[in-house]
Structure 1
Amino acid sequence: MPARVTILDDYQSVALSSADWSGVAERYEIDVVTSHLEGDELIERLASSEIVVAMRERTAFPASVLDRLPALKLLVTTGMANASIDVAAARARGIVVSGTTGSGREVAELTMGLLVALARNVVAEDRSMHEGGWQHTIGTRLEGKTLGLVGLGKQGQWVAELALAFRMHVVAWSPHLTPSRAAEFGVQAVSKQELFETSDFVSVHVPLTESSRGLIGADDLALMKGTAYLVNTSRGPIVDAEALVMALMVDTLAGAALDVFDVEPLPAADPLRSLSNVILLPHIGYVVHDVYRDFYGQSVEDILAFESGAPIRELSA
C-alpha cells in the first residue's frame, strides 16, 4: 500500500485544483476530506496517514490527538502560525510541522466591505429587492465616522490604511500600543474604554491567545453607542459570544458583522442565526483563489522537501 497524504477540511473541494499535486501523487495516495471531522472519526480517518495537510485552525492537533496518530510524520498547516497545533508536542513525538506563507490584504478588504454593508444596510436592501420591495432603510456615510481598531498589527494596519482612504477617523487600542507607534499609521492611540465609548465602528484585529480570549466582554459592549457596530474578522473567542448575542438582542449596539465564531462551522441552532441585525459570513476572510494557490502550492513544496530529507518552513514551538 502506498503511503497516504490526507488533506483536511477542504470544504469547497478546491485543494487539488489549486496546485499541481502530481509530484506528490507519484509517491503517495491522496485522501481529501471535504467535511469537518473530530474525535474518533478524525483519528480513524488519519490512522494510516503519514502526512496531513491542515487548513488554518479548522482541526485541532493537541498532544492527545497526536498520541493517537503513530503513523504521522509530517503535519503541514497553511500559514506560519497555528494555535490549534501543539508544535512542541509534535516535535517531541518526531513529527515535523511545516507551514506556508500567510494571507494578505484580503481580510482587510473584507473588513471594509462589511463596514460599508453595515453602514448602508446592504443585506436588508438586497433581500427587500429580491422580494419585490424598494428602498426602506436610511444609511450613514463612513466619512467622518470613528473606526476603533482593537489591535494594530499587520491586519489592523491594513484596515487603518483603507479606512483613512474613506476619510474616517481611526483610533486603536491594544495592551502594548504606544501613541508613537499608532501615529506611524495615521492612527490615534486611546484607552480601551475611550475606544468603545467613542467609536462608530469597532473592528477586531488581535490574534487569539490565552490573554485575548474573552478580551471583549459585556462591560465593553455596554460602553458602545446604540448606533455603533462591531466587526470581527479575527477569531470568534476574542469576543464573549453570550454577551454579544445579548447586546444584539436588546439593541445595546446597532448591529454586528461576523466572519469568525467560537465553534466552526457555526451550529445550525446557534442564536446568532436568528438575529436580523448581524451579518454572518462562513470564515471567508482569507478564502480567495490567490491565497489558496499559495496555501496548497506551498503545501506541495513542504511535502516534497520533507520527502527529500530537507524539510522547509518548519514552525517554531
Structure 2
Amino acid sequence: MTKVAVLDDWQRIADASGDWSALKARAEVVFFHEAFASEDEAAQKLADFDIVMALRERTAFPPSLVARLPKLKLFGMTGKRGATIDLAGMAARGITLTYTSGSETGVGTAELALGLMMAAARSIARGDAAIRAGGFQDGVPAGPELAGKTLGLVGLGRIGRHMARYGKALGMNVLAWSPNLDEARATEGGAHYRTKDELLAQADVVSLHIVLSDRTRGVIGARELGLMKSGAILVNTSRGPLVDEAALIAALEAGTLIAALDVYDREPLPPEHPLRRLANTVLTPHLGYGTRETFAEFYGQGIENVLAFLDGKPIRLLHPDT
C-alpha cells in the first residue's frame, strides 16, 4: 500500500484541516507531529514512504537526505519556494514535485506582526506572566503610545503594504526601505522612502518583510542594530537569518533594544537558547502564516495533489528550473 508522510504538523492541525477520507482509503497516511532531531532520524523514519507532504522551510531536505529516500516518488510542498529543499535534485531523480497556494495575501503574517509590535510596546506578555504568577503591575514596565511614533518597514511587498496600512491606522509615520525600492514605489505602497541607515536611525519600530536570499541574509547586523534608537523595537516575522542572531542577542543583553520575534535561525528554537531567558523579548513559535484559513487551503490542495498523482494525472506541478 502507498505510504504518505505528512510532515511538520507541529500544531496538530493537519488532520482537521482537510477531508482525508478519499486518500486514507487508498494509502496509509502518517502524521508527524514532532520535528526530526537529525538528518539520520529523518532518513530512518521516512525511508519507507512513497509520498511526502511537507510545510516549506520546516524540515530541510538537502541532497544528502534525498539520496537516502529510495522509495520517494512524490514530494508535495506548500508554496513554490523551498530554500532548504533540494528541489532540483529531486526533479533530476524523477521525483514528481507539487505545490499548493495559500497565504498568498500575507494577511496572517501581517496581522501577527502588528500583534507583536503592540505586545512589545506595551509589555503585554510580561503583564500576562505577572498576573499568572500572582502579581500585578510590579516588574511590568510602562510602554509608549504608538500614535505619533515612526514605523520603519524593511520590505514593502504584499505583507509590508498591509503593515503600512496598519501603521497609518495607528497614527504612525511610516518609512520603508528594501534593496529594490525607490521613492515612487514607496509612496505607492503607503510609505516614505528612506535609505536603510536613515530608516534604522529614525524608526521607533523596525519590522522586517523581505524574502531571505543570499543578498538579504544578515541584512540587519551589528552595525545596523547599532544605528537603531535606544529602546526601539525590532519585529521579525519573515525569516530568522535576515538578522545576525549573535549581534541581536548582544544588543538585547545590553538592554538597548526590544525584539518581537516569530522566526529564528533554527526551528524549533532549542530549549536552552538564550533568547528564551531575555525579558526584553516577545517570542512566538513561527505562527505567521499559520491561520486556520491558510492550513485549510494548504492541506485541501495537498490532498488533491496526491490523489491526482495516484490517478496518474498530477496537478500543480512544480518546475524548479522555471
Scaled by the length of structure 1, the TM-score of the pair is 0.96
Q: Distance in 2 between matches of 1:294 and 1:141?
A: 37
Q: Partner of 1:314 in structure 2?
A: 317
- Match of 1:128, as an amino acid? A
> How much does 1:314 deviate?
2.1
Residues 81 and 99 in structure 1, CA contact (< 8 A), matched pair in contact too? no
- Cα distance change, pair 222–73 in 1 and its aligned pair in 2 (3 A): same
Residues 19 and 296 in structure 1, CA contact (< 8 A), matched pair in contact too? yes
- Further displaced range: 154-163 or 79-88: 79-88
> How much does 1:171 deviate?
0.7
1:89 equivalent to 2:89? Answer yes
Q: Partner of 1:71 in structure 2?
A: 71
1:212 equivalent to 2:211? Answer no
Q: Give a deviation string over 1:172-212, Cα, whole Å, max 9, x none.
A: 11111011111112211110100110000000111111111
Q: Distance in 2 between matches of 1:161 and 1:80?
A: 27
- Further displaced range: 138-147 or 263-272: 138-147
Residues 155 and 208 in structure 2, CA contact (< 8 A), matched pair in contact too? yes
Q: Distance in 2 between matches of 1:102 and 1:296?
A: 10
> How much does 1:50 deviate?
1.0
SS at match of 1:30: strand
Q: Distance in 2 between matches of 1:60 and 1:132?
A: 42
- Match of 1:126, as an amino acid? D
> How much does 1:86 deviate?
1.9
Structure 1: gaps spanning 5 or more residues: none
Q: Partner of 1:259 in structure 2?
A: 262
Residues 127 and 137 in structure 2, CA contact (< 8 A), matched pair in contact too? yes
Counting only pairs closer than 5 Å after superposition, residues 10-21 of structure 1 correspond to structure 2 as 10-21=9-20
SS at match of 1:99: strand
Q: Partner of 2:190 in structure 1?
A: 186
- Match of 1:115, as an amino acid? M
Q: Partner of 1:288 in structure 2?
A: 291
Residues 50 and 71 in structure 2, CA contact (< 8 A), matched pair in contact too? yes
Residues 100 and 298 in structure 2, CA contact (< 8 A), matched pair in contact too? yes
Q: Partner of 1:119 in structure 2?
A: 121
1:229 equivalent to 2:233? Answer yes
Counting only pairs closer than 5 Å after superposition, residues 158-173 of structure 1 correspond to structure 2 as 158-173=162-177
Q: Distance in 2 between matches of 1:113 and 1:277?
A: 16
SS at match of 2:304: helix
CA-atom RMSD in angstroms: 1.3
> How much does 1:277 deviate?
0.3
Residues 161 and 190 in structure 2, CA contact (< 8 A), matched pair in contact too? no
Q: Partner of 1:202 in structure 2?
A: 206
Residues 147 and 199 in structure 1, CA contact (< 8 A), matched pair in contact too? yes
Residues 5 and 31 in structure 2, CA contact (< 8 A), matched pair in contact too? yes
SS at match of 1:295: helix
1:129 equivalent to 2:128? Answer no
Percent identity reads 48
> How much does 1:149 deviate?
0.8
Q: Distance in 1 between matches of 2:117 and 2:128?
A: 16
